[in-house]
């Protein structure tokens, strides 16, 4: 579009008497393009370029969708306006690009990585940009269009992205609601004014705030919520290791005359291998697994979670088939409902890394071994997927909270409900 704009400016002749009206109209149109090109303000279909509204932090802007650009770019001024100056990184090797005129070349040696960009209220994506001196705040090129399943309709000027539920939603950030010229008063003050007969003419509007039907009541992706949670990060220390003196440990009792199950390593994609390497490093650092020479070795695989993240799973089906089942019962839901009768206030707590805070009995750790391309490991902490793990965890929670059970606390696995009638 920039190339076409420059060409039209160079190609327009001086006004003539024969075609003066046509030339003047064309010049007016070029002036209109110049204004919109500089201000990036467009209305509906009267738009020579395709834009989408985005949000970074509290700042909203327009991003240009450009199929001719090979990369993603951010303007230096806009980057400073949204407070990304401290995140600028210098490239080890500059990137050389050719502009739309086909001749001008530039060298880019600065970039900013993993910027949280909101494309809709529930669709946030971490985008890395090269820093380019351009009239546009942001340019999203082919590298962004090809990285995701993004339907783009240049005729209707629409772009759709996938939100955190995996659903396609229009790619737009709503504009701030304009203020209206009225005052909101309480019902008490209205009654007092009516009693004093101070009102000559009155219109009443009953307001009720409703959230959109497809929006949850608490949106944890809201930058304000994330900022508030991060401000208390030092209060909650992430769990690591296991507490060796807990009264409850997980044991694995096998049936008689069983042999260690055998199997091959599952094939994985490059993305899965990268995630596997990172998760193994994290588990080793936390002290939850250790290298093993066990004759056991369950294969590992990945399952795509709801929001496209990969979850590491260990296939313990053969080991579970050889394990004697625990008879420890789980609580009854109808007993919970009866106990909560008359309660008024409730607080629900979720544990983080719940199973990994329970220790495997040392004599049974070799049975939990799993094999990967990067080594053979066994669990020190209790993993997910073992047949008796839920019963063990329920027993541990019951032991920890025995004095409070049925008085102010109810526990079902890793869900803790605190209730009171006051």
Query: Which of 48-62, 287-301, 327-341, 347-361 has the highest average model confidence (pLDDT)?
Result: 287-301
Burial of 27-50, coded b for 16+ CB within 10 Å and e otherwise, reads eeeeeebeebbeeeeeeeeeeebb
- In order, the DSSP letters of 181-241 are S-----HHHHHHHHHTT--SS-----------TTS-SS-TT-HHHHHHHHHTGGGSPPP-S
pLDDT of 284 higher than 90: yes
What's domain 270-420's superfamily in CATH?
HIV Type 1 Reverse Transcriptase, subunit A, domain 1 (3.10.10.10)
pLDDT in tens, 333-345: 888 888 888 888 8
Q: Which fold has domain 51-170?
A: Cathepsin D, subunit A; domain 1 (2.40.70)
Residue 369 has a pLDDT of: 94
Least confident of 78-92, 233-247, 279-293: 233-247
**Residues 371, 373, 374, 380, Cα dihedral to 10°:** -10
The mean pLDDT value for 38-42 works out to 48
- Domains of the chain, by residue range, sit at 2-39, 51-170, 270-420
Q: How far is CA 245 from CA 61, 199, 237, 242, 360, in A?
A: 55, 74, 20, 9, 12
The mean pLDDT value for 270-280 works out to 92
What proportion of the chain, given as a percentage, has pLDDT over 90?
A: 18
Q: Do domains 51-170 and 270-420 have the same CATH topology?
A: no
17/225: higher pLDDT? 225
The C-alpha atoms of residue 238 and residue 327 are separated, in whole angstroms, by: 32
Beta bridge partners of 72: 140
CA within 13 Å, CB half, 117: 26
Which residue, among 341, 355, 360, has the nearest Cα to 394 in the 3D structure?
A: 355
Q: How far is CA 85 from CA 61, 117, 159, in A?
A: 17, 16, 29
DSSP classification of residue 66:
-
**Whole-model pTM?**
0.46
H or E segment to which residue 399 belongs: helix 389-400
């Amino acid at each position: 579009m920039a190339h076409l704009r420059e060409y039209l400016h160079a190609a327009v002749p001086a006004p003539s008497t024969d075609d003066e009206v046509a030339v003047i109209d064309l010049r007016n149109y070029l002036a209109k393009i110049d204004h919109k090109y500089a201000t990036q303000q467009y209305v509906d279909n009267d738009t020579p370029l395709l834009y989408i509204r985005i949000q970074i932090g509290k700042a909203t802007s327009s991003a240009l969708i450009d199929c001719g650009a090979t990369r993603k770019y951010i303007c230096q001024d806009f980057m400073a306006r949204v407070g990304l100056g401290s995140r600028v990184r210098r490239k080890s090797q500059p990137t050389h690009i050719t502009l739309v005129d086909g001749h001008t070349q530039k060298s880019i040696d600065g970039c900013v990585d993993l910027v949280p960009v909101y494309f809709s209220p529930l669709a946030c994506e971490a985008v890395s940009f090269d820093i380019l001196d351009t009239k546009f705040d942001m340019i999203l090129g082919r590298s962004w269009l090809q990285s995701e399943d993004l339907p783009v309709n240049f005729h209707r000027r629409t772009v759709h992205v996938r939100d955190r539920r995996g659903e396609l939603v229009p790619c737009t950030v709503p504009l701030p609601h304009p203020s209206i010229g009225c005052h909101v008063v309480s019902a008490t003050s209205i009654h007092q004014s009516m009693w004093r007969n101070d009102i000559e003419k009155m219109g009443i509007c009953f307001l009720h705030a409703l959230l959109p039907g497809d929006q949850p009541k608490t949106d944890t992706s809201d930058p304000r919520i994330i900022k508030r949670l991060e401000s208390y990060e030092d209060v909650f220390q992430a769990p690591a290791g296991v507490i060796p003196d807990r009264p409850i440990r997980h044991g694995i009792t096998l049936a008689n005359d069983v042999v260690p199950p055998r199997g091959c390593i599952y094939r994985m994609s490059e993305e899965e291998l990268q995630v596997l390497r990172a998760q193994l490093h994290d588990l080793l650092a936390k002290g939850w697994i250790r290298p093993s020479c066990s004759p056991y070795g369950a294969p590992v695989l990945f399952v795509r979670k709801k929001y496209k993240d990969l979850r590491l799973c260990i296939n313990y089906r053969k080991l579970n088939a050889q394990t004697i089942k625990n008879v420890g019962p789980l609580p009854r839901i109808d007993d919970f409902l009866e106990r909560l009768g008359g309660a008024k206030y409730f607080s629900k707590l979720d544990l983080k890394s719940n199973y990994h805070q329970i220790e495997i009995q040392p004599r049974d750790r070799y049975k939990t071994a799993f094999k990967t391309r990067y080594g053979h490991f066994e669990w020190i902490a209790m993993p997910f997927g073992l047949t008796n793990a839920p019963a063990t965890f329920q027993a541990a929670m019951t032991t920890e909270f025995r004095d409070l059970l049925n008085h102010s606390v109810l526990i079902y696995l890793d869900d803790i409900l605190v209730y009171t009638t006051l």
